[in-house]
Amino acid sequence: MLSPIPTPGQILEEAKAKGWSIKKLCDEAGISDETFFRWRDGRNSIGIDKLQALINAVNQEDMP
C-alpha cells in the first residue's frame, strides 16, 4: 500500500511489482506517459486528479 502522497518512484515501484511498464501504468490511470515522465523528472508538478488516478491504478486488484 502506498503512503498518502507517494513519489513517482514509489508509484513506479508498485507498478513494476505488478509487472507493468510505465505505458501500462499510464494507460490504466488514463494519463499520458509524458505527464508521468515530466512529473518523475521534476519538470512539472502533477495535479491531484492525475495523482489519484495513478494511486487507484496501482492499488487495483489484479483480475484472474
pLDDT digits (tens, 9 = 90+) for 24-60: 999 999 999 999 999 999 999 999 999 999 999 999 8
Residues of the domain holding 34 = 8-59
CA dist 12 and 16 (Å) reads 6
At residue 3, the 3 state secondary structure works out as coil
Strand segments (E) across 1-64: none
Q: What is the amino acid identity at position 19?
A: G
Residue 33 lies in a domain: yes
CATH number of the domain residue 25 falls in: 1.10.260.40
Residue 41 lies in a domain: yes
- Domain tally, the chain: 1
CA of residue 63 relative to chain centroid, distance? 18
* CA atoms lying within 13 Å on the CB side of residue 35: 16
The pLDDT of residue 46: 93
Residue 38 lies in a domain: yes
Q: What pTM did the predictor assign? A: 0.86
Residue 1 lies in a domain: no
